[in-house]
């Protein structure tokens, strides 16, 4: 600390600190305003882009489940906003923080992907099942020796009706080993034989 600062009164020190603060704010104001304008324009741009993405998904995959379309749209939105956040930090002069966040986000993504590998596997398998025209609610399927009727297909799990009970399985498990049972095979059972005999009489 210099001699001049030591000789200043407390009031003078406070005034000098305020002056420096105001000066720093004044110098940073153009960058802050530019950053705010960028955020406003980016928000409008993201809204327009997401509108186009959702419309494109409805046109290209009209028969798909809304869950699948929402999943794709959410991934696009997350990437867009992450890029906008890094760009905003660079605009306001925080390039070092933006670089650090980008690097940290990469390591974080690796850690999260490893920790949630099963969840991601179920979600990816769910996308395939939702797009598979041979796997729909109401179909009778065999999954590793368990035969049931598909109730609903969600992004991470599928619900089956098995002997009046509801069975929930992860989509990754189902996608590996499911077999669709032909409805005609149901007529080979005892009920089908009785029905055939009744119709014959």
Rounded Cα distance between 127 and 149, Å, is 19
Query: pLDDT (tens digit, 9 = 90+) per residue, 98-118?
Result: 777 777 777 777 776 666 677
Query: pLDDT (tens digit, 9 = 90+) per residue, 115-166?
Result: 667 777 887 888 778 777 878 888 888 887 788 888 888 777 888 888 878 8
Question: Is this prediction's pTM over 0.75?
Answer: no
Classify the C-alpha dihedral 170-171-175-180 as positive or negative. positive
pLDDT at 84 over 80: yes
CATH 2.40.50.140 fits 136-184, yes or no: no
pLDDT > 70: what percent of the chain?
69
Contact in structure between 127 and 73 (CB atoms under 8 Å): no
Residue 13 confidence (pLDDT)? 65
| CATH 2.30.30.60 boundaries in the chain | 136-184
């Amino acid at each position: 600390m210099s001699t001049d600062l030591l000789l200043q009164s407390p009031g003078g020190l406070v005034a000098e600190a305020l002056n420096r603060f105001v000066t720093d704010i004044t110098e940073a104001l153009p960058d802050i305003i530019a950053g705010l304008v960028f955020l406003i324009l980016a928000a409008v741009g993201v809204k327009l882009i997401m509108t186009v993405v959702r419309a494109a998904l409805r046109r290209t995959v009209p028969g798909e489940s809304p869950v699948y379309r929402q999943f794709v749209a959410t991934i696009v939105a997350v990437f867009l906003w992450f890029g906008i956040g890094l760009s905003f930090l660079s605009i306001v002069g925080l390039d070092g923080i933006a670089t650090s966040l980008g690097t940290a986000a990469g390591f974080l993504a690796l850690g999260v992907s490893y920790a949630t590998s099963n969840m991601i596997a179920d979600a990816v398998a769910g996308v395939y099942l939702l797009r598979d025209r041979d796997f729909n609610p109401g179909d009778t399927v065999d999954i590793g020796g368990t035969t049931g009727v598909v109730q609903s297909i969600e992004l991470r799990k599928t619900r089956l009706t098995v002997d009046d009970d509801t069975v929930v399985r992860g989509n990754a498990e189902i996608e590996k080993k499911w077999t669709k049972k032909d409805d005609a095979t149901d007529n080979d059972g005892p009920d089908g034989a009785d029905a055939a005999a009744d119709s014959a009489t």
